[in-house]
Amino acid sequence: MRKIKIIVSGGGTGGHIFPAISIANALKAKQDDIEILFVGADGKMEMEKVPAAGYKIIGLPIRGLQRNFNKENLKFFSRLFRSLRKAKKIIKEFKPDAVVGVGGYASGPLLHAANKMGIPSLIQEQNSYAGITNKLLAKKADKICVAYQGMERFFPADKILMTGNPVRKDLIQLENLRAEAQFFFNLNPNKKTLLVIGGSLGARTINHSIIENIEDFKDKPIQVIWQSGKFYHQEMKEKLAKANIDNVQVSDFLTRMDLAYAASDLVISRAGAGTISELCMVKKACILVPSPNVSEDHQTKNAMALVHQDAAMMIPDIEAKERLVKEALLLLDNDSELEKLEKNIALLAKPNAADEIADEILKMIKQ
């Protein structure tokens, strides 16, 4: 019997890549005789992350249009044409039974070519505000898996499936890890813990909001685990050392996010779709500071989807330096509010998202 073959396409950011890998892993777990090929964009992080996860990837020369005028924009149409031609060649040679698009530049040419060739396709949209690539592909897609209510604003309602966003398996059961986490980070079990995260590169506003108000943490009965990101780490480390505050620990990268979440009572974070799905999964009260540097301001829309359900607090980026640390300290001192946020965010968790999406892909092939 012929092997089932599937192409997973997209990337550009961790928010697209990690769900894609989770879906591929779920497919592998369900079906031994399956071959999965990834298609990404040359020079983007998927070209490194996907092989590290054990999958083959082919790159397309596609690039996005820059928002301000840039010489690179002049090459957009020639790159798009070459990407469409290469996508068609990949499909002809690999002969997939289905294609999956997770958003990002590469999924556009690949799914467009697949749709023209009559191959079933599924889109996974992570955000509460659909990306332009997925909006363009939705008309021809067979199924569209989403993580937020109200997505019929962007997609045909009869194609939408509410699955949630896939998250890492190591975040699904954290209840019994708190003692281990406190030991790992050398924390006092009698004090509350604030976790500050801004992605692997770091979030400038969050970092500066913390360091410019660092004196507010002095002599408070709390402790802080702070991931500054590698770009800002040296500067933040030096400023923290000068401030001489011993209840704040800063690192460029947290190798054990499961333990960081398990130790925390409150999380400060950006509002990317993947991070929000993780926060729902680990049931943590959070203050979200949406990045203003993203297309269609989708992080604010992601955050507001939680705020409307009393499942998170949100502070706009422009107000963070003045408000973020003050609000975090007030919230850490308010047990009933922390409990309410934890309870409400837990209701939004979708622990089986990757499995449900994998089931839909296999069902689509059989039909």
The verdict on 75 and 52 lying in the same domain is yes
Higher pLDDT, 66 or 134: 134
What whole-number percentage of the chain has pLDDT above 90?
A: 74
Q: Is the pLDDT of residue 1 over 70?
A: no
The verdict on 233 and 114 lying in the same domain is no
Q: Is the pLDDT of residue 71 over 70?
A: no
The verdict on 69 and 139 lying in the same domain is yes
Which pLDDT score, from 0 to 100, does residue 78 have? 86
Q: Name the maximum alpha-carbon separation found in the chain.
A: 68
Radius of gyration of the chain (CA): 21
Which pLDDT score, from 0 to 100, does residue 69 have? 61
Q: Is the pLDDT of residue 67 over 60?
A: no
Q: Is the pLDDT of residue 314 over 90?
A: yes
The verdict on 147 and 192 lying in the same domain is no
Q: Is the pLDDT of residue 245 over 60?
A: yes
The verdict on 160 and 176 lying in the same domain is no
Which pLDDT score, from 0 to 100, does residue 96 have? 97
Q: Known binding site: residues? A: 13-15, 127, 168, 200, 299
Q: Is the pLDDT of residue 151 over 90?
A: yes
The verdict on 151 and 229 lying in the same domain is no
Which pLDDT score, from 0 to 100, does residue 68 have? 63
Residue pLDDT, tens place only, 154-204: 999 999 999 999 988 778 778 889 999 999 999 999 999 999 997 666 689
What whole-number percentage of the chain has pLDDT above 70?
A: 96
The verdict on 210 and 118 lying in the same domain is no
The verdict on 286 and 187 lying in the same domain is yes
Q: Is the pLDDT of residue 295 over 80?
A: no
HEC profile for the chain? CCCEEEEEECCCCHHHHHHHHHHHHHHHHHCCCEEEEEEEECCCCHHHHHHHCCCEEEEECCCCCCCCCCHHHHHHHHHHHHHHHHHHHHHHHHCCCEEEECCCCCHHHHHHHHHHCCCCEEEEECCCCCCHHHHHHCCCCCEEEECCCCHHHCCCHHHEEECCCCCCHHHCCCHHHHHHHHHHCCCCCCCEEEEECCCCCCCHHHHHHHHHCHHHHCCCCEEEEEECCCCCHHHHHHHHHHHCCCCEEEECCCCCHHHHHHHCCEEEECCCHHHHHHHHHHCCCEEECCCCCCHHHHHHHHHHHHHCCCCCEECCHHHHHHHHHHHHHHHHCCHHHHHHHHHHHHCCCCCCHHHHHHHHHHHHHHC
Which pLDDT score, from 0 to 100, does residue 196 have? 97
The verdict on 208 and 233 lying in the same domain is yes
Which pLDDT score, from 0 to 100, does residue 112 have? 94
Query: In terms of residue numbers, what domain contains 54?
Result: 4-165+352-366
Which pLDDT score, from 0 to 100, does residue 120 have? 96
Which pLDDT score, from 0 to 100, does residue 92 have? 97
Q: Is the pLDDT of residue 73 over 80?
A: no
Give CA–CA dist 6/21, Å, rounded. Answer: 13
Instruction: Report angle CA 301, 307, 312 to the nearest 5 degrees.
Output: 115
The verdict on 17 and 54 lying in the same domain is yes
Query: Structural domain tally of the chain?
Result: 2
Higher pLDDT, 341 or 253: 341
The verdict on 233 and 109 lying in the same domain is no
Q: How far is CA 169 from the centre of its chain?
A: 14
Residue pLDDT, tens place only, 322-358: 999 999 999 999 999 999 999 999 999 998 999 999 9
Q: Known binding site for UDP-N-acetyl-alpha-D-glucosamine: residues? A: 13-15, 127, 168, 200, 299
Mean pLDDT of 19-35: 93
Give CA–CA dist 275/278, Å, rounded. Answer: 5
Q: Is the pLDDT of residue 294 over 70?
A: yes
Q: Is the pLDDT of residue 75 over 80?
A: no
Residue pLDDT, tens place only, 269-285: 999 988 999 999 999 99
Reported confidence tier of residue 2, pLDDT bands at 50, 70, 90: confident
**Phi and psi torsions of 261, nearest 5°:** -65, -45
Residue entry with tokens 């599924």: 122
Which pLDDT score, from 0 to 100, does residue 200 have? 62
Average pLDDT in the chain:
92
The verdict on 180 and 271 lying in the same domain is yes
Mean pLDDT of 145-157: 94
The CATH number of residue 33's host domain is 3.40.50.2000
